[in-house]
Amino acid sequence: RRRGGKRGPLLELEVGKGSPVAGRTVEDAGLDALPGHSLVRIERGERSYGPVEGGEELSEGDILSYERVEHDRGESVPSMPSEPGLEVAPRPEDRATSPARDRATERHEVVVREGSGLVGKPLKELNLGERFGATVIGVRRGGKHVKKPLADLELHPGDVLVLETGRGFRHAFEETPEFFVTSEAGAAGERTAATERDREAPGPLGATIVLVAVVGIAAVGLAHIAVAGTIGAFAMVLLGYLTPGEAREAVDWSILVVIGGALGLGQAMESTGAAEWMGHGLVDALADQGPLWLLVGVYVSTVVLTEVITNNGAAALLFPVALSVAQSQG
């Protein structure tokens, strides 16, 4: 069964009864890829496997689904492999019905989050099918389609995964800490909330005006930078550049808590004289070496502190100490 366009695999092959490829691995049978196309999943009974490892053993009745590689525009339809016992799979409505086959599917693109538990692990070890009911059918990194076998691909933050999922995936996993659900690929004429927003949002001029206004308000002293930034964030939502949900997800509350705590602790150090005491201690130890060594001392102290808390927290905590050192030098 051959299909075109971006919806679904371009070709599906079935391992026939008595086929010599049954019992052999995908790689050994040379079926891990066809010219310009890659194997994205294997359907076996009521289960679907993907991404497919080269060592996956084939069985009679397996349905192999191939999809055209986005970067390869050479062949729009691959040639049939020469192995006997491989047949073009029948249409879904002609196959034996099962919950897996009858279940409607969706296509989604998700972006791997920074700090996600998926980062640094090959796809074959992530069990995305069991955890999210999803099959990976493509990966983009840096705007380019990944060519290497997906099963062995280790994920990086920012990788875009193209998933085939069951209905309700977005609603079920929109709040997961593992990835952002960015878009849904539906039928022609269907438009997702993301594509609607892209079409209706103003151009870059609006965002530029908001940025300049935030900086200008803070620079002339009309409002504190935090207040100006909050107003700018609301403006971006009102103008349609972000949804309220996206704005909420963009806030890393753990970092805000650390920075807030560091600011409070820094203020306490300054009020109690602890910052001045630490600054004088640093000056006494390095003053004979010159101002450059004082700067190195502050820098090293900050670097050591960043191993314990965040960069922003370390800067907030050591700022009064650095200020005390600077004042002692005139």
Contacts of residue 181, defined as CB under 8 A and 6 or more positions apart, other chains included, come to 108, 109, 110, 169, 170, 173, 174
Cis geometry, peptide bond prior to residue 84 (ω within 30 degrees of 0): no
Ramachandran assignment for 133, one of left (phi > 0), alpha (psi -120 to 50 degrees), beta (any other): left
Q: Is the CATH number 3.30.70.1450 carried by domain 104-196?
A: yes
115-167 pLDDT, tens digit each: 888 998 888 788 887 788 788 877 888 777 777 777 778 899 888 888 878 77
CATH topology identical between 1-101 and 104-196? yes
Q: Which residue has the tokens 């800067």?
A: 315
**In the predicted model, is pLDDT for residue 65 greater than 90?**
no
What CATH architecture is 1-101?
A: 2-Layer Sandwich (3.30)
Strands (E), 69-208: 86-88, 105-112, 134-141, 144-145, 160-166, 179-185
| Count of other CB atoms within 10 angstroms of residue 161 | 23
3-class secondary structure, 311: helix
Q: Which residues contact 276 (CB under 8 A, 6 or more apart)?
A: 270, 324
Whether 117 contacts 149, CB under 8 Å: no
Burial class (CB in 10 A: 0-12, 13-18, 19+), 142: exposed
Over the stretch 81-108, which tens digit does the pLDDT of each residue have? 555 667 666 555 444 444 444 445 778 8
**What is the C-alpha separation between 50 and 163, in angstroms, rounded?**
10
Ordered by start, the domain boundaries in the chain are 1-101, 104-196, 204-250, 253-328
Please tell me whether residue 109 adopts helix, strand or coil conformation. strand
Alpha-carbon span 258 to 248, nearest angstrom: 18
Spatial distance between the Cα atoms of 250 and 235, rounded to a whole number of angstroms: 15
d(CA 52, CA 69): 15
Convert the pLDDT of each residue in 218-269 to its tens digit: 889 888 888 888 899 899 888 888 777 667 767 777 777 777 777 777 777 7
Structure tokens of 32? 């891990």
Name the band, by pLDDT with cuts 50, 70 and 90, for residue 188.
very low
Residue 22 in this model has a pLDDT that exceeds 50: yes
Using the structure block, give the residue that is written with the tokens 């049939």.
Answer: 80
Q: Helices in the chain by DSSP H: which ranges?
A: 99-102, 128-132, 169-173, 193-200, 204-219, 225-238, 244-250, 253-272, 274-286, 291-306, 311-328
pLDDT value, residue 10? 57
Residue 88: beta bridge partners?
A: 13
- What six digits make up the tokens of 110? 């998700």
Place of tokens 């002692």: 328
* Geometric angle at alpha carbon 107, from 106 and 113, rounded to 5°: 120
* Whole-prediction pTM: 0.39
